[in-house]
Chain A
Amino acid sequence: MFNPLRADQLIAGMGRTMRAAAAADGPADDYARGQLLSAYSISRLLASEVRAQPELLAWLRGEALAALERSADPAAAPAGERIAAAGDPAAIGEALVDLFAELRREGRDSELRDSLHAVLREMAARELAVLAARPEDARVGSG
């Protein structure tokens, strides 16, 4: 969820790799084959990611906001506002980074940290499950 590079950057990269392979003279060496296989791997992982990201983002936002609403820490409400307004996972990540830094600096509310850690733990597990799913198993037209 907090992974660098956007989908459009990945798609453009796969295209460049394919074009380079098509333009190459002679049989591909190990390096060139590795480039093509990496592009293929990205295509599969990205397909699973794109399909699941809206649901995963909504889940992360909802769970993080619920944890913040349960907390009386003064930093919880401003962090909640940022997360509610966040347009993408990176913006949620940035809000959490700042919140954790403030809690650590002030040495307060380990309960809030613990509950957000639990959210991130579940998020990591869900993200791995999404990426491990084979894209060809997704039904056409399903959301």
Chain B
Amino acid sequence: MSVDAVKATAVLEQLRGAGAVGERASALELTQLEGGWSRHTYALSVEDPERETGVEYIVRVRPADSVLDTDLGQEFRLYQLIEDEPIPSPRVYGYEPGEDSAFGGPFFVMDRLPGGAVNVWRDRDRDLLQGDWEGSRTLAADFADFLAAIHAVSPEKLAGAAVARDFRATVARWRGIYEEVRLAPDPVVEEAYAWVLDNEPEPVEPRLVHGDYRIGNCLLDGGRITGVLDWELASIGDHRFDLGYMSLDYHGGRFVAAGSPLLGAVAERDWFDRRYAAAGGEPVDREVTKVFAALGALMLFSIMGTGLRLYADGESRDIRAAWSRYVFPGLRSDLIDLMGW
């Protein structure tokens, strides 16, 4: 049993304020979970005499050394607004905006959904996903259906809860960060920025874009997706970004060695495209998807580059940021393939 009393009290205050727990509720355990680069995540077990069973919550924190300069409050509002959409997502409770909170930054609290996350860079997790594909394909179906559901959310509903950004603005955002944080000039990245602008797709009506849609950001339980998480990169923009980003070989588990042959380690590409379209998504144009895949890889260069810059400058001691330099060779290879060199 492990409880940081100051942190636990801060979370219980938020939960009581939202009417989620009673006055006599107390914290049983609070532990920091492994995942999270731009957000830190804690799991809290609560005992509440006004309920028969214990309750589990997740605390999502924006730390001072976050690799993303995104608004946690906006993310909180987005979770609230999609609660009634056919997308499995946790109910959120209080939001604490203070930089000097008990967690060292703004945080909000949400339900802990059943299930766990997979890591496609681990053999056993890719085997689990391969098993679904060769068997029931329920995970694969959920993965396509929930993406179509995300892209069907009315953008009007999300006013103020997600930034609106068109293609050029998205490229400019990630290029600006790349130039600001880069520690080493990268000729492949520079050429890729020119290539995506040379191949700018015809615009489409803006939609909700998850921004980091991959199976590793979903919770899985009993062969189904029980939660779509990690919305900090969500925007109103070109939904084809999600289709490109998830198609990177990196998201199929390629690190320095090959990963799964399946799209995103989940499904065969043709099958996924048909399923996505059957669920209401627009037909997928592979050539356009390539451009967004390259843009997705460039986004990762910028995000991980930020972590590396913070680490190099001594503003972060998270060794995972240093480790992320070894993601770059594979991403560079992804870009080279996409550009057809």
A2-B323 contact given A104-B194, A117-B191, A128-B330, CB 8 Å threshold: no
Interface of A is mostly: helix
Contact with B along A1-35 (1 / 0, CB 8 A): 11111000110011011001000001001110111
Q: Which one of A39-47, A68-76, A135-143 is at the interface?
A: A39-47
Residue of A nearest to B183 (CB): A4
A-B contact count, CB below 8 Å? 121
B32 touches A31 (CB 8 A): yes
A128-B333 contact given A4-B325, A41-B323, A42-B322, CB 8 Å threshold: yes
Contact size range, B: 35 or more
Q: Which residues of B have CB within 8 Å of A45?
A: 256, 326
Contact with B along A121-134 (1 / 0, CB 8 A): 10011011001100
A90 touches B185 (CB 8 A): yes
A120 touches B188 (CB 8 A): yes
A121-B325 contact given A13-B319, A26-B2, A100-B187, CB 8 Å threshold: no
A5 touches B311 (CB 8 A): yes
A121-B341 contact given A42-B323, A42-B326, A128-B330, CB 8 Å threshold: yes
Residue of B nearest to A114 (CB): B341
Report B91 CB to chain A, min CB distance, Å: 23
A2 touches B187 (CB 8 A): yes
A38 touches B320 (CB 8 A): yes
B32 touches A9 (CB 8 A): no
A128-B256 contact given A3-B325, A29-B31, A42-B326, CB 8 Å threshold: yes
B329 touches A124 (CB 8 A): yes
Instruction: Tell whether B6 is near chain A: CB-to-CB under 8 Å.
Output: no
A121 touches B336 (CB 8 A): yes
A34 touches B190 (CB 8 A): no
Instruction: Tell whether A96 is near chain B: CB-to-CB under 8 Å.
Output: yes
B322 touches A10 (CB 8 A): yes
Report A43 CB to chain B, min CB distance, Å: 10
Q: Which residues of B have CB within 8 Å of A100?
A: 187, 190-191, 194
A93 touches B322 (CB 8 A): no
Instruction: Tell whether B332 is near chain A: CB-to-CB under 8 Å.
Output: yes
Q: Which residues of B have CB within 8 Å of A132?
A: 256-257
A97 to B191, CA, bound (A): 8
Instruction: Tell whether A101 is near chain B: CB-to-CB under 8 Å.
Output: yes
A33 to B308, CA, bound (A): 20
Q: Which residues of B have CB within 8 Å of A13?
A: 311, 319, 322
Q: Which residues of B have CB within 8 Å of A17?
A: 319
B 165-212 contacts with A by CB, 8 A:
182-188, 190-191, 194
Report B196 CB to chain A, min CB distance, Å: 13
A124-B2 contact given A3-B325, A4-B312, A96-B187, CB 8 Å threshold: no
A-B contact list, 13 entries, CB within 8 Å: A4-B308, A4-B325, A4-B328, A5-B308, A14-B319, A29-B31, A29-B32, A34-B320, A39-B319, A42-B323, A97-B187, A100-B190, A131-B326
Q: Would you list the 4 A-B pairs with minimal beta carbon distance, nearest first?
A: A4-B183, A30-B34, A96-B187, A131-B256
